[in-house]
Amino acid sequence: MQSDQQHVVHVVGARPNFPKAAPVLAALERYDVRQTLVHTGQHYDSNLSSVFLEQLGMPTPDVYLGVGSGTHGHQTAAVMTALEGMFAAERPDLVVVYGDINSTAAAALVAAKGGIRLAHVEAGLRSFDRTMPEEINRVVVDRLADLLLTTSVDAVGHLAREGVAADRIHFVGNPMIDSLLRCRPEPADQSARSDLDLPHRYALATLHRPGNVDDDAHAAALVHAMHAVADRIDIALPLHPRGRSRLTAAGLLDHPRMHVVDPMAYLPFLALLSDAALVITDSGGIQEESTVLGVPCLTVRPNTERPVTITDGTNRLVEPTELPEAVAEVLAAGRPSHWPTPPLWDGHAGERIAAILARALAAGPA
């Protein structure tokens, strides 16, 4: 290893980060830089995280912090404390963060206070809902980042309106879609469906947002709506630990057509999503994946930081009370044969990001 190699540190911490980071790590291998992958361990299931990394072809993390779950303040502080010592010792030339989780915000704060250049992959997304912890993280990280790498044209506009200099904003496309297109299962792969004893036609659901599951009344309303959907179609539901107890207490498991399982690894989940008649979700990433796969998506939220999945995709926002009727409409219409997809969601975002990072490193500090 050459001593004059520039050093890039990638910080990930939860499953949504992994398919975004994988294409960037792979593409940056073509350049003369040293890369270090830091996994903060924010994800609740370290074993499942390991499976995700393996299935995405990512290297074993060089550093695993193991911060675990906890309150937002506890989790953010634990990541900051661990990274502060590491960054001080290593003095990386660039820190790359992904998405909007607490680890992302923590790494951004430590890098900025340490005078280390910062790149944010998935910059500029806005729900304009400050009750979402992720929205706070997005705004904070984008104020601190030196390189803002955006997945959509609307994100570029948000950053410009917030006063970010144009030369710091780069529209690169969506690296999560790189991973999806590389790992997309063959149409004949029915193993995931068979393992869950699902019929040929089924819906897929993921539900974990605080607005849906952290309040007993909201959880009960959501379960009522999901049971009405299950009257029409079997539902596969990999259930996130967040809200599991409330949803279960509200009777989620009481419907015979609810197929509730533990969170799934990347490839089996992608297979289920690819073949589903529709997906019901409150996840940001699944709005994007379903957009590219042409799977009708009903997002149970009042807003989305990914409006491009509505204008250039298959997504639609619904309230829980609207969900049964919306599902009936989707089932009657069937999956589309043609649909728009956002520009630059073409499987080459990682390459574009790597090229921008390499140019920035070659140019030196601004």
pLDDT digits (tens, 9 = 90+) for 142-161: 999 999 999 999 999 999 99
Class of domain 191-333: alpha beta
What values do phi and psi take at 319, rounded to 5? -85, 155
Which residue is associated with the tokens 């399982």? 261
Cβ–Cβ < 8 Å for 39, 10: no
Residue 68: pLDDT over 90 = no
Token readout for 57 is 């072809």
Check residue 366 and give its pLDDT: 67
Considering 208, 218, 255, 259, which one is annotated as catalytic? 208
For residue range 183-199, list pLDDT tens digits in order. 987 765 678 888 888 99
Return d(Cα 77, Cα 81) in angstroms, integer.
Answer: 6
Structural fold of domain 6-174+345-363: Rossmann fold (3.40.50)
Nearest residue to 289 (alpha-carbon basis) of 303, 302, 275, 52: 275
Cβ–Cβ < 8 Å for 12, 79: no
Residue 277: pLDDT over 70 = yes
Check residue 1 and give its pLDDT: 41
* Mean pLDDT score, 25-30: 98
Query: Is residue 7 annotated as part of the catalytic site, yes or no?
Result: no
Residue 4 pLDDT level (bands cut at 50, 70, 90): confident
Cβ–Cβ < 8 Å for 138, 119: no
Average pLDDT for the chain: 94
Which residue spans of the chain are classified as CATH 3.40.50.2000? Answer: 6-174+345-363, 191-333
- Please tell me the pTM assigned to this model: 0.95
* Mean pLDDT score, 46-74: 87
Nearest residue to 57 (alpha-carbon basis) of 26, 90, 30: 26
Q: What is the DSSP letter of 126?
A: -
Return d(Cα 180, Cα 195) in angstroms, integer.
Answer: 22
Cβ–Cβ < 8 Å for 79, 106: yes
In a 10 Å sphere around its CB, with 0-12 CB exposed, 13-18 middle and 19+ buried, how is residue 310 labelled? middle
> What 3-state DSSP class applies to 31?
coil
Q: What is the DSSP letter of 186?
A: P
What angle do the packed helices 46-55 and 18-28 form, to 10 degrees? 40
Return d(Cα 156, Cα 149) in angstroms, integer.
Answer: 9
Check residue 47 and give its pLDDT: 61
